[in-house]
C-alpha cells in the first residue's frame, strides 16, 4: 500500500478547485416527522434501494469558497498536481465549533485509511484550538459516508428536512448534521467542586512558584472560603475528563464593561494539549459585548504567548516586588 503524503493546501493555489460530490449509494435513511400540538416525533430508519442509485449534487462545491471565512484545507496531490483527496474546515467563532466543510477521497484512494488520516488532522486541530466540537453535514442517502462518520465517533446532532428543496424527505435527501464532541467537557462548576478545584490550583501553580523559587504566591495561599466567595460573585468553569475528574478550570468576574479572567489552570499531566485555550474560549462565550482583561507575571512567557495568540494585548505592567511584576493584557469587545 502506498503511503500517500498529506500536505497543507494553499488558498492562493487551490481556491476555486471543484470538489466532486456525486456518489453511488445502495441505501438511505428514511425520515418520518410527525408533530402535534404538544409533541414532535422523528423516526429515522435505514432502508435499501433495489438497485444502486447515483446521487447528483445540485450545488457544486469548491475549496476555499468565499463564504467560509478562515477556512483551511489539507489534501493529497499527484505528481501531475491533481487533487486526489482533501478535507477543509472552517471555524464557527460564535459558538466555538469547527465545521468540516469538505471531505473527499477519489475512488482509487478509497479503503486505504485516507479518510481517517484526513479526519485526524481536523480532530487534532480542533483540540489544539480549544474547540468544543466538530460539526459536519451529509445527506440521508449517503449511507457510506454516514457509516464512516459514525466509525470516527460522530453522532446525530439534528436534521434539516428542507435544506436542499421542499421535498427532501420524499427524495431521501434530508440534511443530517453530525457532531464529534472534543473531550474533555467544560461545564460550570458547582459549589461541591470547589475543594477539588482548590487542590488542582495548588498543584497547577507549582510551576509558577518555581519561576520565583518561592511558594509564597497568592494562588498557593488562597483558602476555600476565599474561593467560595469568588464562586458566589462570578463564574467558575471546570474541565472534566471521562472519569469526571477535574483537570482544568478558569474563573471570572465582571462589571458593566469588563470581564476579569483569572486562575486559568490545567493539570500538569494534561498541559500542552490545547486545554488552556479551550477553557479561555469557553469563559469568553459567557459574556457578550464586553472587554476582557487578565494578568500574569512577566516571567510566565508561555502564558503570555497563549494570551496573545487568543487576541489579548499588553497594556500595562505593575511592580509588586523586585521579583514579581504583573503584566496586564486586554481583549477589546467585539
Query: What local confidence, expressed as pLDDT, does residue 167 receive?
Result: 96
Question: What global pTM score does this model have?
Answer: 0.69
Do 166 and 198 fall into the same domain? no
Of 130, 153, 181, the residue at which a domain comes to its end is: 181
Output the pLDDT for position 106: 94
Domain containing 262 equals 185-331
**What CATH number has the domain bearing residue 275?**
3.40.630.30
Ramachandran region of residue 16, left (φ > 0), alpha (ψ -120 to 50) or beta?
A: left
Listed residue (36, 53, 41) closest to 173, CA to CA: 53
How many domains are contained in the chain? 2
**Domain endpoint, select from 181, 197, 218:** 181
| Element (DSSP H or E) covering residue 181 | strand 175-181
Give the pLDDT confidence score for residue 217 in this predicted structure.
84
Q: How far is CA 2 from CA 5, 6, 75, 113, 253, in A?
A: 9, 12, 15, 11, 55
Q: What is the mean pLDDT of each run of 10 residues along the chain (334 residues)?
A: 89 96 93 95 95 84 95 96 97 94 94 92 89 95 95 94 95 96 87 97 91 83 95 95 92 95 95 89 87 93 92 92 88 87
pLDDT of the residue at 272: 86
Q: For residue 2, tell me if it sits in a domain.
A: no
Kind of pairing between the strands at 133-139 and 155-160: unpaired
Does residue 12 share a domain with residue 161?
yes
Beta carbons within 10 angstroms of residue 124's beta carbon: 11
Q: Do 62 and 142 belong to one domain?
A: yes
Amino acid at each position: 500500500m502506498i503511503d500517500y503524503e498529506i500536505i497543507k493546501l494553499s488558498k492562493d493555489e487551490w481556491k476555486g478547485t471543484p470538489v466532486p460530490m456525486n456518489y453511488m449509494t445502495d441505501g438511505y435513511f428514511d425520515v418520518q416527522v410527525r408533530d402535534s400540538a404538544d409533541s414532535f416525533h422523528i423516526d429515522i430508519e435505514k432502508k435499501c434501494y433495489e438497485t444502486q442509485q447515483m446521487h447528483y449534487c445540485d450545488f457544486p462545491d469548491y475549496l476555499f469558497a468565499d463564504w467560509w471565512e478562515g477556512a483551511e484545507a489539507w489534501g493529497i496531490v499527484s505528481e501531475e498536481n491533481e487533487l486526489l483527496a482533501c478535507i477543509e474546515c472552517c471555524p464557527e467563532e460564535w459558538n466555538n465549533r469547527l465545521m468540516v466543510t469538505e471531505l473527499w477521497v477519489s475512488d482509487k484512494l478509497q479503503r486505504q485509511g485516507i479518510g481517517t488520516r484526513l479526519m485526524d488532522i481536523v480532530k487534532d486541530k480542533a483540540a489544539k484550538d480549544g474547540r468544543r466540537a466538530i460539526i459536519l453535514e451529509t445527506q440521508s442517502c449517503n449511507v457510506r459516508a454516514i457509516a464512516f462518520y459514525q466509525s470516527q465517533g460522530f453522532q446525530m446532532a439534528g436534521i434539516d428536512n428542507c435544506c436542499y428543496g421542499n421535498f427532501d424527505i420524499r427524495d431521501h435527501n434530508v440534511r443530517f448534521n453530525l457532531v464529534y464532541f472534543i473531550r474533555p467537557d467544560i461545564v460550570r462548576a458547582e459549589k461541591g467542586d470547589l475543594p477539588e478545584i482548590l487542590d488542582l490550583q495548588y498543584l497547577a501553580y507549582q510551576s509558577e512558584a518555581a519561576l520565583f523559587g518561592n511558594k509564597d504566591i497568592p494562588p498557593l495561599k488562597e483558602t476555600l472560603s476565599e474561593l467560595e466567595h469568588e464562586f458566589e460573585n462570578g463564574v467558575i468553569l471546570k474541565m472534566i475528563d471521562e472519569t469526571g475528574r477535574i483537570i482544568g478550570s478558569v474563573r471570572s468576574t465582571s462589571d458593566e464593561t469588563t470581564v476579569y479572567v483569572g486562575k486559568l489552570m490545567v493539570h500538569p499531566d494534561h498541559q500542552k494539549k490545547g486545554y488552556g485555550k479551550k477553557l479561555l474560549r469557553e469563559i469568553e462565550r459567557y459574556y457578550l459585548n464586553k472587554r476582557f482583561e487578565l494578568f500574569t507575571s512577566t516571567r510566565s512567557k508561555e502564558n503570555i504567548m497563549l494570551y496573545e495568540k487568543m487576541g489579548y494585548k499588553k497594556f500595562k505592567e505593575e511592580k509588586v516586588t523586585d521579583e514579581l511584576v504583573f503584566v496586564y493584557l486586554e481583549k477589546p469587545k467585539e
